[in-house]
Amino acid sequence: MTAQPRKTAPPLAQQVIWLTGASSGIGEALVKSLASRCLQLIITARNADKLQQVAQQSGCSNILCYPADITDRDQLHKVAGEIEQQFGRLDTLIANAGTCEYVDVKQFDAELFERVVHTNLVGLANCTEAALPLLRHSQRGYLVGTSSSVAYLPLTRAQAYGASKAATNHFLEAMKIDLAGEQTDVSVICPGFVKTPLTDRNDFPMPMRISAAEAAEEIIRGIERRQWEIHFPRRFTWILKTIAALPAGLRMRITRSMSRNQASASSR
């Protein structure tokens, strides 16, 4: 059986791109940086007014706004139907929408896990289900999902968020394996700390934090190359990767020192 010749990925300037989580943070920065570089940008988030505001502020006329909640499959399929009707294809899905909540082990809340995992993992699966048929109509489809550098290393209070992002990495790598025969590319985005409305709520130090605009440029560079893992800032992510590669006892000694419970015990 003869292998099919490898199709060439279309340049950004020829691509129809669907971006979720576009109303704030990294998503908003991506709209501003990406719209002028692609053929058509479809943006999705729950807040319709904020979507329109982001589109207007970009100064680009090639943006379509479709409010939708990624936890609602029907809403996403409706957006996909609009994309199919207008363009007949989708070249790239950037599944960027997500949430973060931190765990307090002294007041453990299983519902928090349900909220975080349902948004970050099931929401990604919902987006993939809606977009995949359209990606198959592209010259060479491209599925991109946003994970986190916390997926590299279990960290204090990140039981729910980290687990959802580790599952995201697993999901996307498995999709990369299974879609290779269709010549559909897959990438995972693993940011470190980025200044966004979500991280502005954090009550702990965020080393090497970068701006959302810087993050957007890192992501676009990775997307243009279709590299598997788009992680940044590199100095921070390599530190996490290095700690993760240490023997378990040493690794957990380092991460345990970051725990508030450990600090509280040490101070007594």
Q: Interior CA angle at 145 toward 143 and 147, to 5°?
A: 160
Q: How confident is the model at residue 261 (pLDDT cuts 50, 70, 90)?
A: low
Estimate the crossing angle of helix 25-34 against helix 212-225, to 10 degrees: 60
- What's the topology of domain 12-267? Rossmann fold (3.40.50)
Q: Are 193 and 168 in contact (CB under 8 A)?
A: no
Beta-bridge partner residues of 211: 195
For residue 201, the model assigns a pLDDT of 81
Taking only the tens place, the pLDDT of each residue in 107-120 is 999 999 999 999 99
Report how far residue 77's alpha carbon sits from residue 187's, in angstroms, rounded to the nearest whole number: 22
Residue 247 structure tokens: 């023997």
Report how far residue 268's alpha carbon sits from residue 266's, in angstroms, rounded to the nearest whole number: 6
Its pTM stands at 0.92
Taking only the tens place, the pLDDT of each residue in 36-45 is 999 999 999 9
Computed over every residue of the chain, the mean pLDDT equals 93
Q: Domain ranges in the chain?
A: 12-267
Residue matched to tokens 């010749």 = 5
Q: What Å distances lie between residue 214 and 191, 205, 220, CA to CA?
A: 11, 19, 10
Report how far residue 187's alpha carbon sits from residue 194's, in angstroms, rounded to the nearest whole number: 19
Q: Are 123 and 71 in contact (CB under 8 A)?
A: yes
DSSP string, 1-33: -PPPPPPPPPPGGG-EEEEES-SSHHHHHHHHH
C-alpha neighbours within 13 Å on the C-beta side of residue 221: 9
User: Computed over its alpha carbons, how large is the radius of gyration of the chain?
Assistant: 19
Q: Which residue has the higher pLDDT, 2 or 181?
A: 181
pLDDT at residue 257 is higher than 80: yes
Q: Are 73 and 62 in contact (CB under 8 A)?
A: no
Taking only the tens place, the pLDDT of each residue in 93-148 is 999 999 999 999 999 999 999 999 999 999 999 999 999 999 999 999 999 999 99
pLDDT at residue 186 is higher than 70: yes
pLDDT at residue 192 is higher than 90: yes
